[in-house]
């Protein structure tokens, strides 16, 4: 059984809940992550969540997102989910937005997360798990930023917010500075 780490307003762990029951119309604040994966040519991998998922089905979003287990290092959680969702080994995994937080609602289901954002690279092609991802494509980062700003791509609300913050780090994702892990929510500082 997979769990999520529940958080207080300061980002400290206050317990765990079964992942399958945490997302409701009153989802408690919990720990998550988002990762933006780039290939050796600098293209960004955008993915669409599987249509059969209970939360946010068929929504385009970042490359991979998920929930670290209690005591699991954030980078290891990212690698685990990238392997599970995309069959994708990751190379350089770097924290870039340690304090990202959002709340969003779709069809009565709420997301309520402290969700650090990471950047990673890979030299492999994805092999998506159809239970998790029903489509993916490599895109030039500037084109993706333009799509997100135009609001025409059916992009998840968290990805739209993240893109604005990531673009502020600079136009070249390879040059985004690594963030200080001390800025993470305390529950993510392993």
- Per-residue pLDDT tens over the stretch 135-169: 999 999 999 999 999 987 789 999 999 999 999 99
189, part of any domain: no
124, part of any domain: yes
* Burial zone of 151 (CB within 10 Å; 0-12 exposed, 13-18 middle, 19+ buried): exposed
Q: How far is CA 50 from the centre of its chain?
A: 15
> Which residues form the domain of 134?
3-174
Q: How far is CA 96 from the centre of its chain?
A: 12
186, part of any domain: no
185, part of any domain: no
179, part of any domain: no
CATH of the domain at 134: 3.90.79.10
187, part of any domain: no
140, part of any domain: yes
The total number of structural domains in the chain stands at 1
pLDDT at 17: 94
Using 70 as the pLDDT threshold, list the residues of the chain that sit under it: none
Which sequence positions are flagged as catalytic?
65, 113
180, part of any domain: no
């Amino acid at each position: 059984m997979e769990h999520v780490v529940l958080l207080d307003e300061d980002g400290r762990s206050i317990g765990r809940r079964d992942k399958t029951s945490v997302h409701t119309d009153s989802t408690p604040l919990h720990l998550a992550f988002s990762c933006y994966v780039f290939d050796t040519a600098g293209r960004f991998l955008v993915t669409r969540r599987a249509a059969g998922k209970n939360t946010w089905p068929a929504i385009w979003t970042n490359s991979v997102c998920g929930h670290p287990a209690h005591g699991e290092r954030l980078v290891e959680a990212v690698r685990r989910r990238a392997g599970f969702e995309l069959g994708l080994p990751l190379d350089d995994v770097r924290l870039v937005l340690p304090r990202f937080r959002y709340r969003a609602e779709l069809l009565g289901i709420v997301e309520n997360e402290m969700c650090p954002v990471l950047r990673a690279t890979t030299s492999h092609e994805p092999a998506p798990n159809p239970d998790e991802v029903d489509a993916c494509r490599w895109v030039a980062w500037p084109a993706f930023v333009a799509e997100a700003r135009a609001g025409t791509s059916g992009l998840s609300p968290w990805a739209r917010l993240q893109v604005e913050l990531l673009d502020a780090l600079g136009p070249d994702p390879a040059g985004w500075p690594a963030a200080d892990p001390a800025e993470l929510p305390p529950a993510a500082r392993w």
